[in-house]
Amino acid sequence: MKVISYNLNKHKAAGELDALVESTGADILCLQEAVSDALPAEISGLQLVEATARNRLGLAVYLRRNTFEPLEVRTLALKKSLHDMVLKPAEERMLAVRVRDIDLGRELIVASFHAAPLTALNSLRRKQITAALGELASLGEGLPILMVGDYNYPVFKENLGQKVRDAGYELSLSDARTYTRYKFFRGHYDFATSVGFDIDTITTLPQGRSDHLPILVTATLT
> Taking the model in full, what pTM does it have?
0.92
- Cα–Cα–Cα angle for 38, 43, 46, nearest 5°? 125
Higher pLDDT, 104 or 186: 104
Q: What is the mean pLDDT of the chain?
A: 90
Please count the other Cβ atoms lying within 10 Å of the Cβ belonging to residue 120.
Answer: 18
Q: Is there a contact between 180 and 195 (Cβ–Cβ < 8 Å)?
A: no
* DSSP reduced 3-state for 136: helix
Q: What's residue 96's pLDDT?
A: 96
What would the mean pLDDT of 30-35 be, rounded to a whole number? Answer: 96
Contacts of 171 (CB under 8 A, 6+ apart): 157, 160, 161, 164, 165, 191, 192, 193
Q: Is there a contact between 6 and 210 (Cβ–Cβ < 8 Å)?
A: yes
Which range in 79-93, 150-164, 166-180 is most confidently predicted, on average pLDDT? 166-180
Backbone angles phi, psi at 128, to 5 degrees: -65, -45
Paired residues of 201 in beta bridges: 218
pLDDT-based confidence at 133, cuts 50/70/90? very high
Q: What's residue 91's pLDDT?
A: 67
Q: Is there a contact between 132 and 78 (Cβ–Cβ < 8 Å)?
A: yes
Homologous superfamily of the 2-221 domain (CATH):
Endonuclease/exonuclease/phosphatase (3.60.10.10)
The domain segmentation of the chain, as residue ranges, is 2-221
Paired residues of 218 in beta bridges: 2, 201
pLDDT-based confidence at 88, cuts 50/70/90? low
Query: Which of 175, 171, 212, 178 is CA-nearest to residue 192?
Result: 171
Tell me the per-residue pLDDT of 53-79, one tens digit each, with 9 for 90 and over. 887 789 999 999 999 999 999 998 865
Q: What's residue 212's pLDDT?
A: 94
Please count the other Cβ atoms lying within 10 Å of the Cβ belonging to residue 204.
Answer: 18
Cα–Cα distance list, 189 to 22, 120, 173, 196 (Å): 24, 14, 9, 23
Q: What is the DSSP string of 40-78?
A: -SEETTEEEEEE-SS-SSEEEEEEETTTEEEEEEEEE--
Q: What's residue 86's pLDDT?
A: 43
